[in-house]
Structure 1
Amino acid sequence: MSIFGRQVESSSGFLASIWKEYGKADTRWLYADPTVVSIEIITVVGAGLLSFAVLYALVNDLPSRHFLQVLLCTAELYGDWMTFAPEWLTGSPSLVTENPMYLWVYLTLFNGLWVVVPLLLLAHSYQYLQGAVSQYQHRKLE
């Protein structure tokens, strides 16, 4: 995948071989699909930088970690939705669902991790933030 016209299917190298393998399940990753490229640009730049901010806040035990984590997880879930919703709405022409390996391992398991992990982190941050707000409100009433 490239924004400059290079195609993964004609590239060589380790990362290209991984994309080619995944491209057997989702052909949009073999060429410069505008939706996928657009989402990946935001992911690499925005979510990449935000990931470093979350990591810094986590290592330094900063309470801002939870706000940043909510932003990052929400962005990831939105990216997941925008990657697959257009595909589903058009009948999944680029997804190879006939092959059980591609459907259940590549598409469901591997992509499911990008949904489950952010949901778990959102739940964790929700509990932390809810507790902090409750504690603040309780002190305010005293």
Structure 2
Amino acid sequence: MESAFQVFNSSSPLMITDHPYYPLQVEIASYLANEWSMQILLAAFATICAAVLFGTLLTVNRLHPDLPSVEKASIWWFILSGAIHLFFEGYFSLNHTRMGPAQDLFGQLWKEYALSDSRYLTSDPFVLCMETVTAFTWGPLCFFVAAFITTSHPLRHPIQIIVCVGQIYGLILYYATSMFDHYYKEVTYSRPEFLYFWGYYFFMNFIWMIFPGMLLVSSVRTIAKAFTKLDKLENPTKYSNGKTNGCAKKDL
């Protein structure tokens, strides 16, 4: 009679080590190589992003033609970022256990990206939790911020700060956990080729450091200016005394 361990193993997915991912000995459940080439997958992803940006451009120009260019650019970023978070990263969150054999577009795209970080094919706890929060918290909030920009909603900048800090914090932890394993545990998740490490792993993620960082600084400055103006209205004597004292010192 088979043991309980043997019965469990018979129903478990086949763990495969014959694959191109690092570390080479990592086991990936029921892995199947992508049916589409890297060029086709990247072109498909770029086409989807271009369609989202172009659709957003047309909609914003038609409904809110008088918005400043900087605000329009912010809307484009939040719509694209929200779409990637909610749909692409949300796909990973919901399908992380079947990434190895997946042959649909998003599944193959994740397997292509996983050449730079194999944790996406092994249900790594940190990556799964981080992507789930990103997909279902920052994703929807990106759309809210985009909508708030069009109406100059008072919550635009507070929520923009929350989203940007969340994105930057998640990215720092993403880099840090990978580098910790690389330098302290000598476990490397990325292939060494320039495209995979510097192109996929570093550059494609660092975009979420650049734009959220710029928007974060912008929101902090806007809120600081607003509080300064409010303080001047509520405490006019404080500022008038300062000017008077300054003039008095010059006269002396």
TM-score, scaled to structure 1: 0.90
Could you tell me how far apart the structure 2 residues matched to 1:29 and 1:135 are? 48
Could you tell me how far apart the structure 1 residues matched to 2:214 and 2:107 are? 31
Q: Cα distance 1:98–1:16, how it changes in 2: closer, same or farther (>3 A)?
A: same
Q: Sequence identity, in percent?
A: 25
1:74-89 mapped onto 2 (5 Å cutoff): 74-89=165-180
Match of 1:61 in 2: 152
User: Which structure 2 residue ranges, 5 or more long, are not aligned?
Assistant: 1-91, 237-252
RMSD over aligned Cα, in angstroms? 1.8
User: Which structure 1 residue ranges, 5 or more long, are not aligned?
Assistant: none
Structure 1 segments of 4 or more deviating over 6 A?
none
- Deviations 1:14-69 (CA, angstroms, capped at 9, x unpaired): 11111011111111112211111111111121112222221221121112100000
1:1-142 mapped onto 2 (5 Å cutoff): 1-2=92-93, 6-91=97-182, 93-96=187-190, 98-142=192-236
TM-score, scaled to structure 2: 0.52
Report which stretch shifted further, 106-115 or 76-85: 76-85
Could you tell me how far apart the structure 1 residues matched to 2:188 and 2:109 are? 17
Residue 182 of structure 2: SS of its match in structure 1?
Answer: coil
Higher Cα radius of gyration: 2
Could you tell me how far apart the structure 1 residues matched to 2:173 and 2:133 are? 12
**How many residues in Structure 1 have an aligned counterpart in Structure 2?**
142
Structure number with greater CO (CA < 8 Å, separation at least 6) is 1
- Deviations 1:42-100 (CA, angstroms, capped at 9, x unpaired): 11211122222212211211121000000001111111122221221122624325211
